A and B are shown apart, each in its own frame.
Chain A
Amino acid sequence: MSKTKIIFILVSVLVISFNSLPIVVGYATQKDGLKYLGRRSVNSQDVYTYVAFIEQARQGRILFENLYMPEKQSPSLIRPSYLFIGTIARLTGISSIFAYHLFRVLFSFLFCGVLYFFLKRFFEKDRDRLVAFTVILTSAGIGGLIVGMAPNSSDLWIPESITFLSMAEAPHFILSQMLMLLGFMAYLLGTEKKRFRFYILSAGCFLLLALEHPFNLFVTGVVVGILVIYQFLYSKAEKAEVFLGSGLILLVTALGIFYQWLGTVSDPILKSWMAGSSLPSPQGHNYLYGYGLLIIFALFGVEKALRERKFQYVLLLVWLAAGAVLLYSPFPFQRRFSEGLHIPLAIFAATGILMASTLAARFSIKVAQRYVFYIALGLVLLVLAITPVLQVANDISIISSDSPQGYYYHLLSAEVEAINYLGQVTTPKDIILSNWFYGNVIPGMIGRKVYLGHKVQTPFFDKKVEAMNKFLLEADPKKAEMFIRQAGFTYIFLGKNDTMLQYGFKPETKPYLKKIYGKDGVSIYKVVKY
């Protein structure tokens, strides 16, 4: 293996390890009586929704259900990545949450490999490619430095907008970005080598993308569409081949979007899910903070690219422009279009950083020029990585601050034991009522449905909370029984010092409930006929 490749692998290992540090620390430093849940601050509520898919696959299901809603549904969700992860988990006997993190890391490595080859198309020198590689993996904006002034800075809370954050998110986030890269790389190869099979490969990547993160198809579709027009106007490429190849990709993109749209409008689960899922972009300045200095450096790279007008740079320019413009397009999920946007921006920024470092070196004496170049380069890379470093430190700090008296990133060991027991006594048809903190993790831990557990995936979340609160204080058993029949839950889970008990719920006095588990303050009740 060449020295260059070893360096690239080393950088990847370092970045991914550092990225996973909060999870490792979380598991390694569990306090007595606490079990770490394997989640961090950003999108913490979503982790177990994905783990729930893995758990369903682990239990042998191929088509998935939304376990966060009690309403009647038939399994219809297709998630190839989670089916694959879940199947591996079943075959190897590892837990779903472990499989989640294992594949997050593995997909991150795969992404790094694809990125390495992708960058080869833009940088001839190994050194320059390594700089671009590092910038993509480690950079973010200035959100970490101005968190008091700009708490909504995109690099603090939109994981898809920054590669480092994407690698810390659910496995399909980084997988989707890898598919985007692969798709674009195949497209470049198609136009360059004039071989149709590359177009087919590109279309295949986007087809897979349609099943993982269909939002990205809007970006890839717009990019390919504009590139077709560009090639017709300015390129000497074989027009018929470009037309056919790009046409195939656009057709697949359109089919992917149509399939998802059709699935959403015809499937009540997805429909209700989408209805509650509004992902608007924050105000523009939050993206400016979120990309920070990268934007400034990227201007130099963009200028260079516009002057050279090489086709691969045109692709990056179009990707950058299309992604940015789509951020405020009239779609309710506009924030999702930031996925992958960091990549072209960071590539241009890397060019700018190299230019700036070269310029800094020129101002020094001849013998020191090499050192000045690397010092300037190193300093810029460090500054760009401040926010990710601060985020890792922050994650470790808040995960460690959990205690048996107050916890969010952990559960009590007794609660974990009880939930596992619940997994044994229930079937996938059962629905569990709990407060929404436990409701959020139960589907991922044991693959069972809950009455409520996620603000988006549980349709009519607020109404359900209201209804549940009313039920908890209901003195009339007939009315309570009617609610149970409507809601359809069969078990009630109560953690230690559960908020439901603090609210005034007295399960032991209810004739329609039978205690089937009670240990260390954690209890499980079964709904019975009386």
Chain B
Amino acid sequence: MKALLKLLKNKESVFSAIIYSLLFLYLIYPYRDYDWGWHYRYGEYFVKTGHIMSSDVWTWSMRGYQWVNHEWLYDPLLYILFSLGSFWAMTLAGAIVGFIPFVLLLSLYKLSYWQKGILAFFYMQLTSGVYWQGLRSQMIGNLLLAVYLYFLIKLYHLLLEKYRDKKFSFKVHYPLLILPPLFFLWANLHASFTMGLLLFAIFLGSSLLVLFVKNRNQEDKERGFYVPLIFIWSLGSFFASFALTFVNPFTYHVYIEAIKHTTSFLLPYITEWTPAGRDSFFFFVFMIFSILLLVGTLIRRKLSDLPLCITALIFFWLAWGARRYNADYVTLALPLGAVALQSFKVKLERFKATAFVSVIFLSIAAEVVLFQNLPSYHLWGYSFKDYCDQGSSCSENLTAYLLKHPPKGDGFNLYDWGGYLIGRGVQARLFIDGRMHLWEGPNHYYPFLQYQKMYYGADFKRFNYYNFDWFIGSTDSILGQILQKTPGWNVAYKDDRAVYIVRVRESELKSKK
């Protein structure tokens, strides 16, 4: 009891505990990953057969396509997690995976509660665009990026402080040993490991620069230029890491896949690869965070911040162009944000008003999380219906119909629902699903581009050319509305969300007659 009272009197501990708790609660998002279904089936296949599904079996447009599934290891993890704990497990895992980067990276710095609060606010806001769907492979990538940065910063401090070391010590130099296996794991979980290699190079290069410009004492200066032994070890760690990235089922192809994900002309068609709206509150927060980093960096003007600055700058540029990088940006810039806040001369924790304002803000945050966010997610008893309601607006009623009456022939379907239909076990030859945004067939055939033109461009000529047997799409989509009125097409199922329209072939008509 006494210990508890003592703890309560410690403002720092109490506020920090509340901030961390609220952040965790805020990061609880209902599971609504549009790609759940195909991840689940890939995972199921792997767990049951011990093999990776290498070619496509669900779509007719790219049947047999050899896809480099750069996140193949995530699939069995998802399958096991979902099989054990259904949506609850996914939701909880998503919150934990989202929470760890913040805790881990901030553990490197001694911050006051208000500094943690400010960073938690930015983290919460700027990750929301990526984390809102719950656990996704991209979140795993973000987690690994944070874990990796944590060890990289440790290594960086080693390089700057222990550069005279000549004996390798497991106790001191352990980050060097952790990084290669981490890369091995990462290369099998998500293609974002390529960014890790880039960061490794930035930190190593910066450390060398700092060592020879700033950190040297008289003895070092007299010695002239030399390469410290620890740097050589670090290079060894880097090359070992690099080599281990090839130990995956697709070897060097994962690199090609990663390059495709940054250079494809199809990216502007995908929402997450487009920039955040410049007039949104999200963008306002993004800019305020960036200004905070800039001001803090300018106040500090420390050469040792160089790798953190370069990292933040690169990811600022990426996040500026594509919203999917916002989570990576805020995560990787947390260390710079922490040192930036530390650099402010006014120690706000000394003011009583800081505690007063913190109480108000934290109370409001608690109310928003407990009375608005969490109840609106319907987490208690979360079902596939909720998954559809909260996510892609898919229709469980349509699925029930399709399970009873599987579509015949080659059909057209909404991109966002492809994965869901696969996961729900609907026996249909689909046109497209969430894996296929960058798939390329013979003669530069891109099903995603075809899909975009037909569904959003309402290119009915192109649609006719495909001679589809059925159509599944949103009830109020232009294509759906046209087909409902087109002779030769019959609405087999319709609700306020989805419509399933089947082509009536002449032969069928004749046989009926």
Contact residues of A with B, CB < 8 Å?
148-150, 283-285, 299-300, 302-303, 306-307, 317, 320-321, 324-325, 327-330
Contacts and interface: CB of A to CB of B under 8 A. Distances in A.
Contacts of B364: 284, 324-325, 327-328
Nearest to B362: A325
A321 B360 contact: yes
22 contacts: A149-B284, A150-B281, A283-B281, A284-B364, A284-B368, A285-B281, A285-B284, A299-B353, A300-B353, A302-B356, A303-B352, A306-B353, A306-B356, A317-B356, A321-B359, A324-B360, A324-B364, A325-B360, A325-B363, A325-B364, A328-B364, A329-B367
Interface residues of B, number: 16
A330 B370 CA distance: 9
B353 A148 contact: no
B357 interface: yes
A305 to B, nearest CB: 9
B352 A325 contact: no
Contact of A325 (B284, B367, B372): B367
Contacts of A283: 281
Nearest to A324: B360
Q: Is the interface of A mostly helix, strand, loop or mixed?
A: helix
Contact of B351 (A303, A317, A328): A303
Shortest beta-carbon contacts, A-B, top 6: A306-B352, A328-B367, A303-B353, A330-B371, A302-B353, A325-B363
B279 interface: yes
A329 B356 contact: no
Given A328-B364, A329-B367, A299 B357 contact: yes
B367 A330 contact: yes
Interface string B334-378: 000000000000000001110011011001100110011000000
A218 to B, nearest CB: 14
B177 to A, nearest CB: 45
Contacts of B357: 299, 302
Contacts, number: 45
A300 B351 CA distance: 10
A351 to B, nearest CB: 12
Contacts of B279: 148-149
Interface of B: 279, 281, 284, 351-353, 356-357, 359-360, 363-364, 367-368, 371-372
A328 B363 CA distance: 9
Nearest to B284: A149
Contacts of A321: 356, 359-360, 363
A321 B367 CA distance: 14
A284 B362 CA distance: 12
B368 A328 contact: yes
Given A303-B351, A306-B356, 14 more contacts: A148-B279, A149-B279, A149-B284, A150-B281, A283-B281, A302-B356, A306-B353, A307-B352, A321-B360, A321-B363, A324-B360, A325-B364, A328-B368, A330-B367
A82 B131 CA distance: 51
A328 B371 contact: yes
Contacts of B363: 321, 325
A327 B364 CA distance: 8
A281 to B, nearest CB: 9
A315 B306 CA distance: 49
A327 B368 CA distance: 10
A358 B502 CA distance: 78
A328 B371 CA distance: 8
A284 B357 CA distance: 14
B120 to A, nearest CB: 14
A150 B356 CA distance: 27
Nearest to B278: A149
A149 B280 CA distance: 7
A300, A325, A330 — most chain B CB neighbours (10 Å): A325
Contacts of B371: 328-330
Contacts of A150: 281
Contacts of A329: 367, 371
B127 to A, nearest CB: 17
Nearest to B280: A149
B353, B371, B372 — most chain A CB neighbours (10 Å): B353
A317 B353 CA distance: 10
B376 to A, nearest CB: 12
B62 to A, nearest CB: 42
